Amino acid sequence: MEGSDHAMNLEQTVAAHYAHGSLEQAILEALAAAGRDVNRLSAADLAPVDEFHVGGRPATIAFAQQFGVRRGMRLLDVGCGLGGAARYFAQEHGCRVDAIDLSDEYVAVANMLAARVGLGDLVFCQQGSALALPFAERSFDAAYLLHVGMNIEDKFGLFAEIRRVLLPSGTLGIYDVMRVNSGELSYPVPWARGPEASFVADAASYRRLLESAGFEVLQERDRRDFALATLEKMRARGASARPAPLGLHIVMGDDAGAKVANMSNDIQRGLIAPTEIICRAVP
């Protein structure tokens, strides 16, 4: 009981961290300010704002190549945020994507954006917890989580729950910020205001917990250099006299600069690095 209260409190803290209040309006205004016609949007128009992980759309494309996506696959996006990656897999690879996220607001925006770009019949987002997925056993060919594990303390529970809903031999792809060396992290970071909602673990712990939950790890790739190059470009754009109207600062709020700078410094210092792990459910 105490354990489940703790997990519920953590989920409330995490959802509160990501709450914006008027995100739909803010995104549509920024799209208009960036010269887009909000009544004729494409999934690519949204990419600067709807991919909430280091490297945005280029990171998702690189991840999709590792992940071995195939046309028509039935995918699960765990912790979908605004659904940018789900729309990418639907649009570019013809996948049907079910997606869940703790945040009601993100789910509403994700569904609104899917409808606006004509993907409402391929992408379905709903509010839910990664630790209690609202799907039957063996529902998906593959699942992925992009920058979500940092918010989840019970990673064994997470992986076991994903294993439950995957078909035998189904793929799980992870792209998370992972621990590389010990040392205090600086806060806030994009995924948490402070350490109470941040559970950055090293790749060895991910591998161990994945294996205990019934996965075979196939590949691991450190994305540190890619991350540093991307974050430097982001910093330069933000520091320019006319920063782009459309960007993740809309989603991250007033302290977006501090969140990104803290994460970038800790990547630079060798404490953390975005890392991909691809694994397969052992039949």
Ligand X SMILES: C[S@@+](CC[C@H](N)C(=O)[O-])C[C@H]1O[C@@H](n2cnc3c(N)ncnc32)[C@H](O)[C@@H]1O
Interaction of residue 11 with ligand X, rule CB under 6 A: yes
Q: Which stretch binds ligand X (CB under 6 A): 95-103, 181-189, 199-207, 239-247?
A: 95-103
Interaction of residue 131 with ligand X, rule CB under 6 A: yes
Q: Which stretch binds ligand X (CB under 6 A): 24-32, 63-71, 123-131, 216-224?
A: 123-131
Q: Of 153 and 222, which CB lies nearer to ligand X in the complex structure?
A: 153
In angstroms, what is the minimal distance from the CB of 98 to ligand X? 13
Q: Which member of 48, 55, 81, 214 binds ligand X (CB under 6 A)?
A: 81
| Three-class SS state of 192 | strand
Give the angle 77-52-204 at the CA atoms, nearest 5°: 70
DSSP secondary structure letters along 66-135 = HHT--TT-EEEEET-TT-HHHHHHHHHH--EEEEEES-HHHHHHHHHHHHHTT-TTTEEEEE-BTTB-SS
Distance CA 20, CA 130 (A): 21
Q: Which member of 80, 142, 192, 210 binds ligand X (CB under 6 A)?
A: 80
Q: Per-residue string for binding with ligand X, 20-59, x by CB under 6 A?
A: -------------------------------xxx------
In DSSP terms, 279 is beta-bridged to 172, 217
Q: How far is CA 276 from CA 62, 90, 178, 218, 240, in A?
A: 10, 21, 9, 11, 31
Q: Of 37 and 195, which CB lies nearer to ligand X in the complex structure?
A: 195
Place of tokens 């994009």: 190
Q: Of 103 and 279, which CB lies nearer to ligand X in the complex structure?
A: 103
Distance CA 46, CA 247 (A): 9
In angstroms, what is the minimal distance from the CB of 135 to ligand X? 13
Q: How does strand 272-281 pair with strand 140-146?
A: unpaired
Q: Which positions lie near ligand X, rule CB under 6 A?
A: 11, 14, 18, 51-53, 79-81, 84-85, 100-103, 106, 129-131, 146-148, 151-152, 190-191
